[in-house]
């Protein structure tokens, strides 16, 4: 409810960097506002814009970005078949002006889905955007089947050796509980390490996504982090490839 007030206050504080454009159902105003919001989003501010890119390799980089060896998530890759002539007029797609304050747009081959435009679009006139959704998933059914067979064998063993049979059954049940988490870690570590390695092979580096001075300094600093500090997956895998271990300063 106070989003625009915060946005306006930031624009007043930094008038040379940002201009406040009030929300309006006029498409020209929506585009002007989006160009300003894109600059805010550039610095991590939450907006009604969703980043997309024309370059699938850059999309893969963002899918990998921020993951660590200890935290794994089933990531999703969306591919949109966008026709700018149709979908800029009758959907929420919007290409963006590449200004001097937003170098990332050019580096990331960026555009947006602008949800402010929903207010103006007539539902009956919407031109849908064909979308392909790819999810990295896993199937542990065969593993669970083997463990269940082991549990049954342990139960049968209890008729001749109760203590050993009970220990085996407990061990199999404990293993069954840990399977999804362990498979997740093994699968995602393998997939992500292969992807990071292949991206680097074609010289798609995370630091190239952020050409700003501040970000350049940050990525340079990361190369000399203390070994106890958490590191992004890309850096960890690079060190594994280089030194054969997680990190060696």
4-62 pLDDT, tens digit each: 999 999 999 999 889 999 988 777 888 889 888 988 887 788 899 988 888 888 777 77
181-223 pLDDT, tens digit each: 676 667 667 777 777 777 777 777 666 666 566 656 665 666 6
Q: How many domains does the chain have?
A: 2
| 151 lies in the same domain as 106 | no
Please enumerate in sequence order all residues whose Cβ is within 8 A of that of 148, keeping only pairs 6 or more positions apart, or say none.
176
| 103 lies in the same domain as 184 | no
| Residue 242 in this model has a pLDDT that exceeds 50 | no
Which is more confidently placed, 225 or 3?
3
At 132 the three-state DSSP class reads strand
pLDDT at 147 (0 to 100): 87
pTM recorded for the entire structure:
0.59
| 222 lies in the same domain as 158 | yes
CA-based nearest residue to 48, from 98, 122, 118, 95:
118
97-140 pLDDT, tens digit each: 555 555 555 555 568 899 988 877 777 788 899 999 987 666 77
pLDDT at 207 (0 to 100): 63
| 167 lies in the same domain as 122 | no
| 105 lies in the same domain as 162 | no
Which is more confidently placed, 1 or 242?
1
| 122 lies in the same domain as 218 | no
| 127 lies in the same domain as 146 | no
CA-based nearest residue to 231, from 247, 243, 215, 218:
247
| 168 lies in the same domain as 238 | yes
| 110 lies in the same domain as 213 | no
Domain that holds residue 68: 3-135
* Encoded tokens for 160: 């001749």
């Amino acid at each position: 409810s106070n989003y625009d007030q915060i946005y306006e206050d930031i624009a007043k504080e930094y008038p040379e960097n940002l201009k406040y454009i009030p929300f309006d159902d006029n498409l020209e105003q929506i585009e002007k506002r989006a160009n300003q919001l894109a600059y805010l989003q550039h610095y991590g501010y939450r907006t009604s814009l969703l980043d997309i890119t024309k370059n699938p390799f850059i999309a893969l980089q963002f899918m990998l970005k921020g993951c660590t060896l200890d935290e794994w998530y089933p990531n999703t890759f969306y591919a949109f078949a966008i026709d700018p002539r149709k979908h800029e007029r009758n959907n929420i797609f919007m290409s963006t002006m590449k200004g001097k304050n937003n170098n990332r747009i050019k580096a990331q081959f960026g555009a947006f889905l602008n949800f402010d435009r929903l207010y103006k679009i007539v539902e009956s006139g919407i031109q849908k955007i064909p979308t392909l959704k790819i999810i990295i998933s896993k199937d542990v059914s065969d593993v669970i089947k083997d463990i269940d067979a082991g549990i049954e064998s342990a139960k049968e063993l209890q008729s001749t050796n109760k203590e050993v049979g009970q220990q085996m059954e407990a061990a199999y049940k404990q293993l069954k509980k840990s399977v999804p988490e362990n498979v997740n870690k093994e699968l995602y570590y393998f997939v992500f390490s292969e992807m990071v390695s292949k991206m680097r092979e074609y010289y798609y580096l995370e630091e190239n996504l952020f050409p700003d001075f501040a970000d350049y300094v940050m990525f340079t600093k990361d190369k000399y982090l203390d070994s106890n500090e958490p590191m992004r997956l890309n850096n960890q895998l690079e060190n594994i490839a280089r030194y054969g271990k997680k990190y060696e300063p």
